[in-house]
Amino acid sequence: MTSVLKEIRKQVADLHAELPRNELVVWTAGNVSARVPGEDLLVIKPSGVRYAEITPENMVVCDLDGNLVEGELSPSSDTAAHAYVYKHMPEVGGVVHTHSTYATAWSARGEAIPCVLTMIADEFGGEIPVGPFALIGDDSIGRGIVETLRGHRSPAVLMRNHGVFTIGRDAKAAVKAAVMCEDVARTVHISRQIGEPVPIDRADIDALYARYQNVYGQEPAK
What residues are annotated to the active site?
Answer: 122, 216
Cα–Cα nearest to 177, from 151, 200, 149 = 149
Count CB neighbours of 8 within 10 A: 23
* DSSP letter assigned to residue 39: S
CB 92 within 8 Å of CB 109 = no
117 phi-psi bin (left φ>0, alpha ψ -120 to 50, beta other): beta
Q: How far apart are the first and last CA of the chain?
A: 28
The upper half-sphere exposure of residue 42, i.e. CA atoms within 13 Å in the direction of its Cβ, equals 33
d(CA 105, CA 189): 9
Measured in whole angstroms, the distance separating CA 63 from the mean position of its chain's CA atoms is: 19
d(CA 167, CA 177): 8
Please provide the DSSP assignment of 114-165 as one string.
Answer: P--SHHHHHHHSS-BPEEPP--BTBTHHHHHHHHHHTT-S-SEEEETTTEEE
